[in-house]
Amino acid sequence: MTHRYRISSRIRFTLFVVLVILLITTCANFALGLNTANSATYIEYTQVEVMSGDTLWSIAETYMDDDSDIRRSVYELCKINDITASQLQAGMTLLVPVN
């Protein structure tokens, strides 16, 4: 004699299935160690005085890695120093990451 279960509320059943899948995913995440955070990398900076005729592009070319994207390097310089390219003036001191 087999007893068949009847789903009385599709919404409750769907919610139950979603919660079970979420629980299984969370447990698998913890079990596999996917929740471990990487430690922050230490970035060393150097101070560079802006000379007449310098641009963010030329400073980035001088101090950044050869294999890095120059546009990304200019963006990072602007972000680190809280400036835009138009605000760059001779005599300013910029923090430049040393790679």
Domains defined for the chain, CATH in brackets: 44-98 (3.10.350.10)
Task: Compute CA distances 45 → 9, 29, 30, 70, whole Å.
Answer: 61, 36, 36, 18
Average pLDDT of the chain to the nearest whole number: 87
Report the pLDDT averaged over residues 81-92.
Answer: 92
Which residues are CB-neighbours of 64 under 8 A, at least 6 positions away? 70, 73, 97, 99
Provide the token pair at 82.
Answer: 């809280």
For residue 92, the model assigns a pLDDT of: 94
Higher pLDDT, 36 or 16: 16
Q: Contact at 8 Å (CB) between 44 and 78?
A: no
- For residue range 45-77, list pLDDT tens digits in order: 999 999 999 999 999 888 887 788 889 999 999
As a whole number, mean pLDDT of residues 9-16 equals: 92
d(CA 89, CA 50) in angstroms, rounded, equals 7
Q: What is the pTM of this model?
A: 0.55
